[in-house]
């Protein structure tokens, strides 16, 4: 399986080839139990992204379960509460008892840590 500069060179060399042909030519092929070939598109695209400098490692954010990615989306709960989870507060270095001023805007809520200036008004 090609990686890095070799993979980029092969993709550039084949230019207009089909996606299946690209994956096959780069060596991202395995054999199924029945003897037929399986094209490993996911591994190919991950290697291609890595070769282009896009890291898919698990160095992201933090505080959540290993392998779990933060969605940065919150949902209003059945009782009307809006919950910001522990993974987010840990990422921001917040501790129990930290206080915030709630500022409402048009379709937005801003949380301003108490005791800091809000220069964005």
pLDDT score for 64: 47
Of the listed ranges 38-42, 91-95, 101-105, the one predicted with least confidence: 91-95
Helix 4-14 and helix 41-51: axis angle, to 10°? 110
Does any domain span residue 60?
Answer: no
Number of domains in the chain: 2
Residue 84 and residue 33 in one domain: no
Instruction: Provide the residue range defining the domain that includes 95.
Output: 65-121
Residue 40 and residue 69 in one domain: no
pLDDT tens, position by position, 40-93: 998 898 888 888 887 766 544 444 455 567 777 788 888 989 888 887 888 888
End-to-end Cα distance, the chain: 54
CATH of the domain at 111: 2.10.260
Residue 76 and residue 46 in one domain: no
In 3-state terms the chain splits into helix, strand, coil percentages (rounded to 5) of: 30, 15, 55
Helix (H, G, I), strand (E, B) or coil at 29: strand
pLDDT score for 22: 92
Residue 46 and residue 78 in one domain: no
φ, ψ of residue 107 in degrees (nearest 5): 55, 35
Does any domain span residue 45?
Answer: yes
pLDDT score for 57: 61
């Amino acid at each position: 399986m090609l990686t890095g500069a070799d993979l980029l060179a092969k993709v550039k060399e084949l230019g207009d080839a089909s996606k299946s042909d690209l994956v096959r030519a780069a060596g991202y092929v395995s054999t199924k139990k029945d003897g037929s070939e399986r094209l490993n598109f996911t591994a190919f695209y991950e290697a291609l992204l890595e070769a282009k400098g896009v890291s898919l490692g698990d160095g992201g954010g933090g505080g959540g379960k290993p392998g779990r990615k933060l969605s940065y989306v919150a949902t209003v709960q059945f009782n009307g509460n809006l919950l910001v989870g522990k993974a987010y507060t840990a990422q921001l270095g917040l501790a129990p008892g930290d206080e915030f001023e709630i500022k409402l805007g048009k379709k937005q809520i801003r949380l301003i840590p108490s005791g800091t200036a809000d220069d964005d008004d």
